[in-house]
Structure 1
Amino acid sequence: MEDCNKATVESKASPWWKEILQSLVIAAVLALIIRSFLFTPFYIPSPSMEPTLYPGDRIIVNRLAYRLGEPRRGDIVVFRYPFDPGRDLIKRVVAVGGDTVEARDNVLYINGQPQPPAEYLPPGVVYSDFGPVKVPPGSYFMMGDNRNNSADSRVWGTLDGKLIIGKAFLVYWPINRIGFLK
């Protein structure tokens, strides 16, 4: 009788390789879902966001953030470049739809109000005069933190919100720079 029960238990158990294969398939599907709909890693290729982000930094982008709300001034956003949607860029939202943005005499103005220098800007930022630019509804005016070395909305115009991929929120590499973005 004992031999009969032992054989029944053995026949119900899957071979070890089937369990491993099943686990790998489940892990791959979960990774694909997470990367496609929730969080995506990105690599920073240029110095346009220094000192917040440096070339070589690796970040995580929340793809769900703007399905639940709109980008706000100060958010760091990854988006498809308007003139080459196969290329992704990262910049900071400076103005949102309905705002008027301009720079004169090295001061940034939003809706006619001078903006105090942001703590994330590098020292010695010099604004070339531009604008005024009225940001259309559903669009954003984007600028790199390294404003003296950034091709942004001052060059290519406002960003249609449909091109936004998500909100950058975490640096995960290099190890000495791990942390949440402000």
Structure 2
Amino acid sequence: MKKILLFVWETAKIVIVSLAIIIPVRYYLVQPFFVRGASMEPNFDNGQYLVINEIGYRIDQPKRGDVVVFNYPLDESQYYIKRIIGLPNEKIEIKDGAVFINDVALDESLYLPETIFTRGDMAVNLKNREYFVLGDNRQASSDSRQWGILPAKNIVGQVWLRAWPLNMAKIF
């Protein structure tokens, strides 16, 4: 009987210590996220499991090219994933299939194939703490072209890890 109680006590200690570590990490440092839809293809596919770094933007600001998860500004109960294109206080212009930042063409060759063009001619001037985001699949993405700017307060965090599928696992 003493061995059983000792086993139960040791198991309970392991569970309590594990929860004391896991819960703060989950709620303050990282968050799981499942990609839903095709808006970030070819870089992130529907059904992929990502881990989001929630603490990084408390220390630093988002950078152009970062892939972020955020609360959709028109319905904050929804989470979206997009790429940061425009930074605070910049002029963003889309014309003739290209993106311009302060009148300079944006080189997106690191994350987009040459065959992808950005439709929807427009121009916007961002204010402080405002971002312009686009999906990588420009033809199938609801993004800043449709619903406007992304307030900094809506950003949950940056994509840190693609954990699933395992053959595509990658740290960003």
TM-score range, shorter chain: over 0.9
Q: 2:45 aligns with which of 54, 61, 66?
A: 54
Quick one: percent identity of the two aligned structures?
Answer: 32
Q: CA deviation at 1:121?
A: 1.3
- Matched residue, 1:126: 117
Q: CA deviation at 1:126?
A: 2.6
Higher alpha-carbon Rg:
1
Per-residue CA deviations over 1:115-166 (Å, capped at 9, x if unaligned) read 2342311442232233210011101000011111100000110011001111
Amino acid in the other structure paired with 2:150: L
Unpaired runs of 5+ in structure 2? none
Please report the TM-score for the alignment, with normalisation by the length of structure 2.
0.93
- Matched residue, 2:102: 111
1:23 equivalenced with 2:14 (yes/no): yes
Amino acid in the other structure paired with 1:65: G
Please report the TM-score for the alignment, with normalisation by the length of structure 1.
0.88
Q: How does 1:62-101 map to 2 (within 5 A)?
A: 62-101=53-92
1:36 equivalenced with 2:27 (yes/no): yes
Q: Following TM superposition, where does structure 1 have runs of at least 4 consecutive aligned residues deviating by more than 4 angstroms?
A: none
Aligned residues: 169
Separation (CA, whole Å) in 2 of partners of 1:153 and 1:97: 14
Q: CA deviation at 1:56?
A: 1.0
Q: Secondary structure at the match of 1:41?
A: strand
CA RMSD in angstroms comes to: 1.4
Query: For the Cα contact (< 8 Å) 2:95–2:121, is it kept in 1?
Result: yes
Unpaired runs of 5+ in structure 1? 1-9
